[in-house]
């Protein structure tokens, strides 16, 4: 196993693999302030719901470090503003809000401590979030491996590996575990337009691990599924509603429809921190729309004519009826999803 340190905090700075630069170059993006963290999340230096959550937690630590010399009242006021600012960096990934709320709750529980002690507790909590995510992902991999057959051909979408998490991965973590356990698997990785996370990131991780795989254009998936060349589809999630509706990278819904039509098992793979217990259905999920340049340009080279309008949603919502199961660190959630999800609260 090759260790990929997506997120590392040392010497009062947060270091992130700059995922905008892979696979052409391996570069580290340094965050010295919480505003640097906001930029890193918003501009997709770091992406993937679990990775965003852990990164945001360290953004809170950097904010506390910045305001540590102020009076208690001023410190708490500044922290409230910083947390609100970080919370706005991306609207869809619930792990961002989950991590910010967890850090805010810690501040509220320790308001009577000194500013220095609050800072230390925040740093310990961020470290805990990072460690928990890696442990959670490995457990998800072990549980998910139970549904991967020997010689299975797996289709995946976007990037759900170590780069999308604090380490190891969710859907790609299941694939990793299956490969490590000796199963003779094969992976088809969607390129995942428009930002090509599959082509740039998943393909890079698969090559690093030596997992047999082929990269495909997104539009190839339908033919492979129809021709019975895919045994299993594993994808990640950015937010899961109580009824099991799931927001994930744009193109996931399309795969789920094909999977249902051709009877291919379709699994969501995500930690329980990705479940938003405050919303009933996917209709309540805010879908981020990103810059049109992501569609009209590749590596700053224009591929579409000037003047064309663009619709560029970052995510879509897969309805629960298209989902076979949701693989989490607490087991595989099966229908009826709402009944079984509510038990995890």
Q: Using N-to-C axis directions, what is the helix angle for 115-144 and 171-180, rounded to 10°?
A: 60
Beta-strand relationship, 28-31 and 13-17: antiparallel
Please say whether the dihedral angle defined by the alpha carbons of residues 227, 229, 231 and 233, taken in this order, is positive or negative: negative
Residues in CB range of 267: below 8 A, 6 or more apart: 144, 147, 171, 232, 233, 234, 235, 323, 324, 325, 326, 327, 332
Q: Is 238 a catalytic residue?
A: yes
Q: How far apart are the first and last CA of the chain?
A: 33
166, with CB counted inside 10 A (0-12, 13-18, 19+), is: buried
Interatomic CA distance for residues 342 and 337, integer angstroms: 8
Please say whether the dihedral angle defined by the alpha carbons of residues 141, 147, 149 and 154, taken in this order, is positive or negative: negative
- CB distance 209 to 2 below 8 Å: yes
- CB distance 175 to 156 below 8 Å: yes
Q: What is the DSSP string of 64-88?
A: HHHTTTS-HHHHHHHHHHHHHHHHT
What the block records as the tokens of 214 is: 């082929």
For residue 49, give the nearest of 93, 81, 103 by alpha carbon.
93
Q: Which of 18, 190, 218, 238 is catalytic?
A: 238
Q: Is 49 annotated as a binding residue?
A: yes
Q: Is 48 annotated as a binding residue?
A: yes
Q: Is 193 annotated as a binding residue?
A: no
Interatomic CA distance for residues 309 and 199, integer angstroms: 25
- Binding-site entries for substrate: 47-49, 90, 197, 248-249
- Binding-site entries: 47-49, 90, 197, 248-249
> Which residues are known to be catalytic?
238
């Amino acid at each position: 196993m090759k260790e990929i340190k997506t997120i590392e905090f040392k010497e009062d700075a947060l270091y992130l693999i700059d995922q905008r630069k892979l696979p052409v170059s391996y570069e580290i993006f340094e965050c010295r302030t919480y505003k640097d963290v906001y930029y890193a999340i918003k501009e997709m230096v770091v992406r993937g719901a679990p990775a965003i959550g852990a990164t945001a937690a360290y953004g809170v630590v950097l904010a506390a470090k910045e305001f540590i010399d102020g009076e208690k009242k001023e410190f708490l006021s500044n922290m409230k503003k910083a947390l609100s600012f970080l919370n706005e960096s991306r609207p869809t990934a619930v792990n961002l809000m989950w991590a910010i709320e967890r850090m805010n709750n810690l501040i509220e529980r320790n308001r009577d401590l000194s500013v220095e002690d609050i800072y230390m507790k925040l740093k310990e909590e961020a470290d805990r979030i990072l460690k928990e995510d890696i442990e959670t992902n490995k457990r998800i991999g072990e549980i998910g491996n139970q549904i991967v057959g020997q010689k299975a051909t797996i289709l995946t979408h976007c990037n759900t590996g170590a780069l999308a998490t604090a380490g190891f991965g969710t859907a790609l973590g299941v694939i990793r575990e299956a490969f490590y356990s000796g199963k003779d698997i094969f992976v088809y990785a969607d390129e995942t337009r428009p930002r090509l996370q599959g082509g740039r990131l998943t393909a890079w991780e698969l090559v690093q691990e030596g997992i047999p795989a082929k990269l495909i254009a997104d539009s190839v998936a339908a033919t492979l599924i129809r021709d019975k060349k895919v045994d299993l589809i594993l994808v990640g999630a950015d937010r899961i509603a109580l009824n099991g509706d799931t927001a994930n990278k744009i193109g996931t819904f399309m795969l789920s429809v094909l999977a249902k039509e051709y009877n291919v098992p379709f699994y969501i793979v995500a930690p329980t921190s990705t479940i938003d217990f405050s919303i009933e259905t996917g209709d309540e999920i805010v879908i981020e729309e990103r810059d049109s340049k992501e569609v009209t340009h590749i590596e700053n080279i224009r591929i579409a004519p000037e003047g064309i309008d663009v619709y560029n949603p970052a995510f879509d919502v897969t309805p629960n009826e298209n989902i076979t199961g949701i693989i989490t660190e607490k087991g595989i959630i099966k229908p009826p999803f709402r009944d079984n999800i509510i038990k995890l609260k």
